[in-house]
Amino acid sequence: MIGGIPAAPGIAIGKAYIYRNKEIAYREGPLDDSEIQNQLLLLTDAMRSSVDQLHAIVDEASKAGDGTKAQIMETHLAILDDVSFTDEMKAGIMHEHMFAETAVRKVSEKYEAVFAEMDDEYMRGRAADIADICLRVIKNIIGVPVNAMGEVHEPCVLIARDLTPSDTAQLDKDLILAFCTEQGGSTSHSAIIAKARGIPAVMGLKDIATRLADGDTVIVDGYQGHAHINPDAETLDTYLRLKAEDTKRKETLDRNKHLPPETRDGHRVTLLANIGSVEDGSAALENGAKGVGLFRTEFIYMGRDTLPTEDEQFAIYKTVAGMMNPYPVSIRTLDIGGDKSTPCINIPHEDNPFLGWRAIRISLSEKDMFKTQIRAILRASAYGNIRIMYPMIAEMTELRKANDILRECKEELKADHIDYDADIEAGVMIETPAAAVAADILMKEATFFSIGTNDLTQYVMAADRMNERVSYLCDPLSPSVLRLIKHAIDESHKENAPICMCGEMAGDPKMTSILVGLGLDELSMSASSIPSVNDAIRKLSFEEVQALAIKALTMDTAEDIAGLLAASHYSDAKPSRY
Ligand code: PEP
Ligand code: MG
């Protein structure tokens, strides 16, 4: 067995296909003057073909409801659209007399190095996107097939040193049972696409591409992050059984996904989806979501050089509001900063970006940008049931400032006779310890709360959510985190306001009993988690899980609480890992 990083859940057993990206023969210069025009034309044609290919992938992905894939390919289109990027390639041909493919490679290497040096993990990950786009252009210049997977004709497990996001986006789901790579991590774009497309994947498997030969049998365990090469009969039997169980479980969940999320004794919880695009909204409805609990609007701002306009944002929010109507859509205002950045907002280098200029802090200091977003959200509120949600609020003053800007935007729209929902709700994300402790204060001017456990946990435990070494502390079952969750719920209920949780904890069926027992009214999660959380809720007794939550709150450690949940009969709710 080789251990790696679980990148996308699921189990697959199949024959290995080792993917070797074909070596490109780069022609050496210098070019004759007479050849320059020709090479410039080749570059322009290859750019155009690349844009057409990417548009086709985006269209196909949008039709298939694959929002994540479409979004990543849109990012690639935005990079190709950058004039200075192409100008540098042209300069390589004109001034340095390089062949077109060599000029593209030079520019690619330069920007890959720039991104790879960046402190921000997200930006470092973009080096792979640059390499991917440039390789597409190079292949189009020299006329080799862009999709090297064309050689795969039978179902197999794909083994590669690395897979670019567009390689992953183009994998044929009927042929690629799973994939294993040496490079990449669970937040790489390839991992995100694999998860969204339901292809099990394990990354970070040392030397896997050289340890295997074509035709070897491989078991890929995307839950545990394991690969078994040419397994013995006993391991194979075990995995055949686990795989059969996994398939059966998914079929049952799929059949029951539209049943009401109600405990055996009739307590109803509302299940909502976390989305990042219009396409994700369709997946939410298909999986039984009764609205959107978190629209991560930063994805609209990412991968582009210019800020999205009011009309552009209005169109997106209006579409989501319309498709979800009458269900609610909580649109979170921009949460950029921390591990998320975009070329269209200049965030100067910070030593502690998670503690720095992030989310509402940026919005409040960039008032015009914030007003553009608020006006777009308000205009869309005339077309559905929209709520506004502010991220990373740490004190009442920030909430007041945000609400003042909201009022100002309402007045402007009113003066211009533009429709909006005058009673639109404005809520606060409880994701800083300061907000959780001051929940009673914030409740005076917020109409609802949504608990972001991903950040709340990292800030309460003072443990970076991206740092593997301190991940043992990033446990939302920690008594300190649970007490704050309980406090926010109690303060919210005192004012009869509903309270939601939209951090990853909400989508983990192992946590469902305690979350329902603590009294959360709404749970918001990625669309694919809704069926298993629904199933978990339907097995609960509200009375029993209330007692379970009270008991959990008396315990000393996260391990003790996890033990309590595992020992209770609710733990048969299959978690994301078995
Ligand atoms: C959270 O912090 O729990 C949350 C939902 O926000 P994000 O993961 O986008 O920071
Ligand atoms: Mg957060």
* CATH number where 365 lies: 3.20.20.60
Residue with tokens 């740092």: 467
Residue 243 Cα to ligand 1 midpoint, Å, equals 32
Token readout for 256 is 């029951």
Which of 142, 177, 211 is a domain's end point?
A: 142
Domain with residue 61: its CATH number is: 1.10.274.10
What is the helix (H) or strand (E) element at residue 11, kind and residue range?
strand 11-18
Name the least confident of 96-105, 325-334, 474-483, 569-578: 569-578
Q: Which ligand is nearest to the CA of 392?
A: 2
In-domain check, residue 97:
yes
Q: Which atom of ligand 1 is nearest to the CA of 274?
A: 5
User: Is the C-alpha dihedral spanning 564, 567, 568, 573 positive or negative?
Assistant: positive
Q: Are residues 364 and 505 in the same domain?
A: yes
Amino acid in the structure at residue 383: Y
Residue 392 Cα to ligand 1 midpoint, Å, equals 9
Ligand 1 within 6 A of 500 CB? Answer: no
Q: Are residues 424 and 469 in the same domain?
A: yes
Distance CA 116, CA 192 (A): 19
Distance CA 60, CA 69 (A): 10
In-domain check, residue 575:
no
- Contact predicate 179/201, CB 8 Å: yes
Return mean pLDDT, the chain.
Answer: 90
Mutational pocket test of ligand 1: of 274, 296, 358, 475, the residue with most ligand atoms within 8 Å of the beta carbon: 296
pLDDT per residue over 93-124, tens digit each? 999 999 999 999 999 999 888 887 887 767 77
Q: Are residues 336 and 483 in the same domain?
A: yes
pLDDT the model gives residue 89 = 93
pLDDT the model gives residue 124 = 74
Token readout for 111 is 């920007």
> Which residue's CA is the closest to the ligand 1 atom numbered 3?
452
Q: Which atom of ligand 1 is nearest to the CA of 452?
A: 3
Q: Are residues 286 and 207 in the same domain?
A: no
Amino acid in the structure at residue 241: R
Q: Among the ranges 164-173, 305-314, 339-348, 469-478, which has the highest mean pLDDT value?
A: 305-314
Domain with residue 160: its CATH number is: 3.50.30.10
Distance CA 272, CA 100 (A): 50
> Which residue's CA is the closest to the ligand 1 atom numbered 8?
454
In-domain check, residue 240:
no
- Contact predicate 437/486, CB 8 Å: no
In-domain check, residue 110:
yes
Q: Are residues 403 and 444 in the same domain?
A: yes
Distance CA 73, CA 79 (A): 10
Q: Are residues 337 and 290 in the same domain?
A: yes
Q: How many domains does the chain have?
A: 3
Ligand 1 within 6 A of 474 CB? Answer: no
Give the residue, 91 or 185, on which the prediction is more confident: 91
- Contact predicate 555/534, CB 8 Å: no
Q: Are residues 14 and 67 in the same domain?
A: no
The b/e string for 116-148 (b: 16+ C-beta within 10 A; e otherwise) is eeeebbbbebbbbbbbbbbbbbbbbbeeeebeb
Q: Estimate to the nearest angstrom the gap between the alpha carbon of 185 and the chain centroid.
A: 13
**Secondary structure (H, E, C), 396-442:** HHHHHHHHHHHHHHHHHHHHCCCCCCCCCEEEEEECCHHHHHCHHHH
pLDDT the model gives residue 574 = 47
Token readout for 194 is 């694999």
Residue 571 has pLDDT above 70, yes or no: no
Which of 190, 211, 231 is a domain's end point?
A: 231
Residue 564 has pLDDT above 50, yes or no: yes
Mean pLDDT of the region 350-370: 96
In-domain check, residue 485:
yes
Q: Are residues 433 and 559 in the same domain?
A: yes
Which of 100, 117, 142 is a domain's end point?
A: 142
Q: Are residues 16 and 112 in the same domain?
A: no
User: Is the C-alpha dihedral spanning 175, 177, 180, 185 positive or negative?
Assistant: positive
Ligand 1 within 6 A of 508 CB? Answer: no
Range of the domain at 112: 33-142
pLDDT the model gives residue 573 = 47
In-domain check, residue 444:
yes
In-domain check, residue 498:
yes
Residue 169 has pLDDT above 80, yes or no: no
**C-beta neighbour count of 516 within 10 angstroms:** 26
Ligand 1 within 6 A of 190 CB? Answer: no
The shares of helix, strand and coil residues in the chain, as percent rounded to the nearest 5, are: 55, 15, 35
Mutational pocket test of ligand 1: of 431, 460, 481, 511, the residue with most ligand atoms within 8 Å of the beta carbon: 431
- Cis, bond preceding 30 (omega within 30 deg of 0): yes
Q: Are residues 516 and 538 in the same domain?
A: yes
pLDDT the model gives residue 576 = 43
- Cis, bond preceding 165 (omega within 30 deg of 0): no
pLDDT per residue over 384-408, tens digit each? 999 999 999 999 999 999 999 999 9
Q: Are residues 294 and 443 in the same domain?
A: yes
In-domain check, residue 258:
no
Distance CA 476, CA 504 (A): 10
Distance CA 160, CA 16 (A): 10
Q: Are residues 303 and 352 in the same domain?
A: yes
Nearest CA-CA partner of 134 in 113, 110, 107: 107
Residue 149 has pLDDT above 70, yes or no: no
**C-beta neighbour count of 36 within 10 angstroms:** 17
